[in-house]
Structure 1
């Protein structure tokens, strides 16, 4: 593997505290007990409204998802300012660069927020390409991965995708790349392992598969 496609949220960017904190603030008016990271991972699933229904123990009312989603992002974008890179993100990016391997970044976070944040952390020079979500709708990462790989002009067989979610692995499989999943994000280790791809606890361990 000569090219790594990194995920951002929950992978290079250690934002689990902001995710859990924002979720707790959203559901505080509902009288739900606050989650810690492990408790959140136990109920988390995609699509996220399904996780919210698990938390509430009922189906969402008309318009309720939209209100919850807006409130969540308002809280998240405030709390994320206190978050930083994963503990070994910088050293791992540097280590892969020293080998001569290329790397890029593909996130389902909005492109106009992603790019300046990557620049602020001073790691943009590590990536030959940075892509975030440019449309209003999210959805699965597979289509974005197709476009990202095409823009890079690389053979998917030479690509390793490193992310923290099942969606990252599915996107890799969709284009014919390999995947390694990292436990620092929102998905439980058990759910990651159930997919049958390598699962690691550090980013340094992830690039061993490259």
Structure 2
């Protein structure tokens, strides 16, 4: 990809790199998550969960989320089976991109910004899902998790940026959860969260980072923050 070497009309600079989250951000799948959870949670004595409850309680690590919903510490066997069943159900559902995100990514690419995708979804499943959408070619790198779900996204984000050769201070993380904000803070990146994903706006307000109602707004806000810092450094 060829990157511009001067600031363009949108005020962007070639140093900025966007890291997209997948579930709840690029993939519009909140309702799918709730449905997949309800199809499996009852097997370990959990209740039916509505969207509001999901958004209020969803957390990383996911196993702690299950403990909260069931009201007890689930066993290793229950966790392994429930997580596998949830992922299998979710993977069978159509992959829907959030409205306008493909066009947004194309415009960002045209403006010379680098983009990648980082998720805690299983890596091979993530690649299969992204392939169905046709946006994979717009990403410089796509990383999902390998192994058990981690306690935080921060180590994965640090490794992702290092593999790309991106300075954390020039990285903009666009996500929908508290963990996206925490991970960005821990590695020194900028995070902007949109309010239409897996966590409620009320919970996201506690993250202390900018919130927007759209991905386009999140990108514009984040670019403005990094560009402002960039000008102050000059």
TM-score normalised to the size of structure 1? 0.89
> Of 78, 101, 116, which residue of structure 2 is paired with 1:104?
116
Tell me, what secondary structure is at the counterpart of 1:85? coil
What's the CA shift string for 1:36-68, capped at 9, x where partnerless?
A: 322321232232232223222333246322222
> Which of 205, 220, 234 is equivalent to 1:193?
205
> Partners of 2:38 and 2:142 in 1: how far apart?
31
Correspondence 1:44-193 to 2 at 5 A: 44-61=58-75, 63-78=77-92, 81-133=93-145, 135-139=146-150, 140-193=152-205
Q: CA deviation at 1:177?
A: 0.8
Deviation at 1:30, TM superposition (A): 6.2
Structure 1 match to 2:229: none
| Greater relative contact order structure (CA < 8 Å, 6+ sep) | 1
Q: Structure 1: give runs of 5+ residues left out of the alignment.
A: none
Against the structure 1 CA distance between its residues 107 and 33, is the aligned structure 2 distance closer, same or farther, given a 3 Å change threshold?
closer
Greater Rg, structure 1 or structure 2? 2
Structure 2 unaligned regions, length at least 5? 1-12, 224-234
CA RMSD of aligned residues (A): 1.9
Q: Is the Cα contact below 8 Å between 1:182 and 1:203 reproduced in 2?
A: yes
8 Å CA contact 2:191–2:209 kept in 1: the answer is yes
Runs of 4+ in structure 1 displaced over 3 angstroms?
28-34
Structure 1 position 21 matched with structure 2 position 35? yes
Give the Cα separation in 1 of the matches to 2:60 and 2:119. Answer: 16
Q: Which residue of 2 aligns with 1:43?
A: 57
1:74 Cα deviation from its structure 2 partner: 2.3
Q: Is the 2:194–2:211 Cα contact (8 Å) retained in structure 1?
A: yes
Question: C-alpha distance in 2, partners of 1:29/1:154?
Answer: 44
Q: Aligned to 2:158, what secondary structure does the other structure show?
A: helix
